[in-house]
Structure 1
Amino acid sequence: MSGCDHRHLLVVGGQRCGTTYLSRALDAHPDATMARPSPPEPKVFCDAGLSARGVHWYHRTWFAHAGGEQLLGDKSTSYLEDPEAPSRAAEMLGTPDVVVLLRDPVRRAVSHWRFSTANGLETRPLEESLLADLREDQPWDPERSSVSPFAYLRRGRYAEQLRPWLTAFPGTTHVLFLEELLADPLVLRTLVADLGLDPGRTPVPADDAVNASPGEVPALDAALGKTLEGYFEESNAELAQRLGRLLPW
């Protein structure tokens, strides 16, 4: 596969923001295909050694299944919080399209806790876990996960995570919100068109939840909810200013 035969797409995060749902929807478009196998996510641009192997290795390893599709997509949520990932991606891929999918950071934190709990990484109750992260970084085992499973709040400070991506790819970074993606089919169709694909061939995503954690969503104490909203206030304000629009939460 020649490196010039295809265009590239990176779905970089955020974690627990619906990127698996979006990735499957894009993979269903006849002119796009996502990296396989998934899982695991490629995470190529989080590793200097892997990204140095070059685009032909990248294609052989993750896109051996690709045929005549125009767009090759890599969904790796660890990319968003790695400030070196944009420069590594630029060195290998030139100017890929970059999609960032975000959601209410408080809801994201609860979803993250449910995921860590369901996967045996977290044993503390919800509020204890969130307050611990509010106080300081929590120790974690990199042998069990590629990023901290306990960064419930820090991972929701989207503005600072976006800075390197917007700097590296100011004209090809697309920021979407899960709340709007799920509510309005036009959001996906518009993204497909912005990626240079035929929006008339946009698939209809399945209604069922993708990669959802089991059980009921726990209620968050109202006082803690207010504390968390205050924690995210500055980051949310910067995000809204950078995007030039109101946030949907």
Structure 2
Amino acid sequence: MTRHFLVAGAQRCGTTWLHELLAGHPEIAMARPARPEPKVFLREDPPGADAYRAEFFGHVDGESLLGEKSTSYLESPEAPDRVAATLGSPQIVVQLRDPVARAVSNWSFSRDHGVETRPLAEALRADMAGQQEWDRAASSVSPFAYVTRGRYVADLARWTERFDVHVQFLEELVDDTDRVVGDLFTWLGVDAGVRPDTGGGPVNASSTAEPLDRALEAELRDHYRDSDDALADLLGRELPWRTRKDT
């Protein structure tokens, strides 16, 4: 029996590395092409299940678990309904990271791709001040939602209230890859003893670097405090970036 799962988010949280780990398991087939991400359920009229499998899983050769990584799904209000209408109740994987580190990585990614020209502090503060317009023909979601996108809990709750969701953290995947990968494979119902070789660490890192000044970091930590509190409550566990430092 063929089953489905989605890696629904979050952007700039190490999900390309996660995709490679998943694709390396012999019981799992990931959607192709992987880049650009399929983003099937961002479409107003996504295909039915048979058409979805025909479009993205024609390469399947006996794998029992079909997966798609499209990290824009997490923040889409419409995606959960569309997923349910097409796939029923697939398992949902969400990988998160320190929202401050994620914001800096998102800015770097936008700089690398030529859509951002402002210095780091200016760009982050502009996002904190309110939503900015972007070229919607070029991107399905804002490339400038550096700070906003790290307030994970409201987006995550849309998924946890209707799907079986596994949330893991990039920090823990880096620190204890074997345990985190084993836990994920167990949860997905595939052989938990498999350890795909993907080079041993995150991929698709941004190249642009600019330091985050301490005053702005403190401001961001305060900005995220209520969201992080609510996320910890939703998950019933502390967040790794808060156990590592005083935030």
Gap runs ≥5 in structure 1: none
Equivalent positions of 1:166-245 (< 5 A) are: 166-169=160-163, 172-184=164-176, 185-215=178-208, 217-245=209-237
CA distance in 1, matches of 2:158, 2:206: 30
- Equivalent pair of 1:192/1:202 in contact (CA under 8 Å): no
Alpha-carbon distance, 1:205 to partner: 3.3
Looking at structure 1, the residues matched to 188 and 201 of structure 2 have their Cα atoms a distance apart, in angstroms, of 25
Q: Find the counterpart in structure 1 of residue 42 from structure 2.
A: 46
Note the alpha carbon deviations across 1:95-147, whole angstroms, 9 max, x for none: 11100000000000000000000000100000000011011111100112111
Query: Is contact 1:87-1:168 (8 Å) kept?
Result: no
The Cα of 1:207 is off from its aligned counterpart by 2.3
Specify the SS of the correspondent of 1:21. Answer: helix
**Which position in structure 2 is the counterpart of 1:81?**
75
Instruction: Describe how 1:1-249 pairs up with structure 2 within 5 A.
Output: 5-50=1-46, 53-169=47-163, 172-184=164-176, 185-215=178-208, 217-249=209-241
Take 1:13 and 1:71, find their aligned partners in 2: how far apart are those partners? 19
* Offset from partner CA, 1:33-85 (integer Å, 9 cap, x none): 110011011111112312xx200100010001011101100100110000221
Greater than 4 Å deviation, 4+ residue runs: none
Q: Which residue identity is paired with 1:33? A: A
Q: TM-score, normalised by structure 1?
A: 0.94
Equivalent position SS for 1:168: coil
- SS at the partner of 2:161? helix
- How many aligned positions are there? 240
Map Cα deviations across residues 1-54 of structure 1 (whole Å, 9 max, x no partner). Answer: xxxx4100100010000111101100000000110011011111112312xx20
The residue type paired with residue 203 of structure 1 is P
Residue 209 to residue 245, structure 1, CA distance change in 2 (3 Å):
closer
Q: Quote the offset at 1:150 in angstroms.
A: 0.3
Q: Distance in 1 between matches of 2:195 and 2:50?
A: 29
| Residue 90 (structure 1) shift | 1.1
Q: Say which SS state the counterpart of residue 201 (structure 1) adopts.
A: coil
- 1:182 Cα shift? 1.1
Cα distance in 1 for partners of 2:143, 2:44 equals 22
1:15–1:77 CA contact under 8 A, matched in 2: yes
CA distance in 2: counterparts of 1:202 and 1:6, whole angstroms: 22
Q: Aligned letter for 1:77?
A: T
Query: Cα distance, 1:214 vs. partner?
Result: 1.4
Residue 150 of structure 1 aligns to a residue in which SS? coil
| SS across alignment from 2:210 | coil
Query: Which has the larger displacement, 137-146 or 121-130?
Result: 137-146
CA positional deviation for 1:196: 0.2
- 2:244 aligned partner: none
User: 1:183, CA displacement in angstroms?
Assistant: 0.8
**Among the aligned pairs, what percent are the same residue?**
52
- CA-CA distance at 1:208 after TM superposition: 4.7
- Which SS does the other structure have where 2:186 is aligned? helix
Matched residue type, 2:3? R
